[in-house]
Structure 1
Amino acid sequence: MNTFKRTLAVFLATSSIALAVPLAANAGPMMGGGMEGGCGKGWSEMRGGQRDGVPPMMKKLKLTPEQQTTISELRKQDAALIGEKYQSMRDSRAQLHEMAKKGEYDEAKVKALTEQGAQAMAEMAQLRARQHHQIMEVLTPEQREKLAAQRDAMMKRWEKKRGERPGPAA
C-alpha cells in the first residue's frame, strides 16, 4: 500500500507539473494576466491593474484613447471564457489532489481529469494567442518595437534573477 501511495503521489506531482508548464510558458505580460494567484486575482490585478483593462506594460506606449478603448474591449470579450477555462483546469487539478489525499486511484477517472485539465489549458492558450494577435494589430509599428524592447528587458531581468537563485541540492 505504501508503494501505491508513493506512486500515486509521484504521478500527481508529475501531472501537475505537466499541466502547469504549458500554462507558465503561455503566460506573459501581454497575454491577459498570465497565471492566477491563490486569491483568485490575475497577475495584473494583483499588481494594481485591471484584469480586462490595458495591461500595465502597455501604459508606457503612449496609447491613444481609441487604442486604449479597443484594447480594453478585446480583453473583455474573452475574459469570462478564459476564466471558465482556468477554473475548469483548477477543478480537475483539485480533484486529482483530493484523490491523492484519500489514497484513491481510479485510472479512468485520473485519465479523464488530466484530459479535462489539458483541454481547458489548450483552449485558454488559443484564446490568449488570438487576443494577443488582435491587440498587436491595434498598435503602431513603433509601439510594437517599444513593447518588444520592454519585453526583452523584462525577460533579461527575470533570467538574471532566476540565475541568482541556488539550484536544488544534489
Structure 2
Amino acid sequence: MKATTLIVIATSLLLATSPVTAGHHSKPEQADKSYKSARTGFSYQKMLASIELTPEQQQQLKQLMKEHRTDKPKRQRENSERDEMRQLLQADYFDEVAVTALLQQHQQQRLATRVAQLKLRHQIQQLLTPEQRQQLAEKQQQRKQNWQQNRKMQQGH
C-alpha cells in the first residue's frame, strides 16, 4: 500500500502535463474543475498504480522518480520569468526583441521538461513486463475512447 501511494504521488509531480478525460457537466463550474483536474496527469498514475508491480519493480520505479523529481529552482526560475515578462509589458515601450528572446527561452525549457517527462515514461515502460505493458496499453486505449466519447457529447450540447 505504501509503495503504491508513493508511486502515485511521485508520478503526479512528473506527469502533470498528461491529458486526462474531462466528463460532460451541465454546470460550468464543474466543467472548470474537470479542466483543472485534466491537467494533473492523474490518469497515468492511476493506471500505473493499478498494475501489480513486484517489490523490485517498485524499488526501481521509486529510484526513477527520485532521479526525475522536479525541484524548487525550476519554480523560482518560472517566477522570475513571469516577473521579467511583467516588467517588459509594463515598460514605456514594447521591446519586441526582449519579449521574443524570453519566449524562446521559455519554449526551450518547456521542451526540455517535456522530453524529460517522456524519457521517464519510456524508462517506466522498460521496467514493466510484456503483460504489464499490455495492461497499461489497454487502460490507455480505454481512457482515449472515454475521452473521445466525452468530447463528442460536449460538442453536441
Task: Determine if the TM-score, normalized by the shorter chain, exceeds 0.5.
Answer: yes
Q: Smaller-chain TM-score range?
A: 0.5 to 0.7
Within the alignment, does 1:79 sit opposite 2:91 as a pair? Answer: no
Report deviation, 1:104. 5.0
Tell me, in whole angstroms, the C-alpha distance in 1 between the residues paired with 2:151 and 2:88: 33
State TM-score, norm by structure 2.
0.63
Q: Match for 2:119: what amino acid?
A: R
The number of residue pairs the alignment matches comes to 127
Q: Match for 1:75: what amino acid?
A: M
Q: Gaps spanning 5+ residues in structure 1: where?
A: 1-28, 37-41, 48-53
What's the C-alpha RMSD, in Å, of the aligned pairs?
A: 3.6
> Which stretches of structure 1, 4 residues or more, deviate above 3 A after TM superposition?
83-104
Alignment of 1:1-170 (within 5 A): 32-35=14-17, 43=40, 55-80=45-70, 84-85=73-74, 88=77, 91-92=80-81, 95-96=84-85, 99-100=88-89, 105-166=94-155
Q: Match for 1:118: what amino acid?
A: Q
In structure 2, relative to structure 1, the CA distance for the partners of 1:86 and 1:156 (3 Å cut) is: farther
Report deviation, 1:43. 2.1
Report deviation, 1:108. 1.5
Q: Gaps spanning 5+ residues in structure 2: where?
A: 1-10, 19-38
In structure 2, relative to structure 1, the CA distance for the partners of 1:62 and 1:96 (3 Å cut) is: same
Tell me, in whole angstroms, the C-alpha distance in 1 between the residues paired with 2:84 and 2:148: 34
Relative contact order (alpha carbons < 8 A, sep ≥ 6): 1 or 2 greater? 2
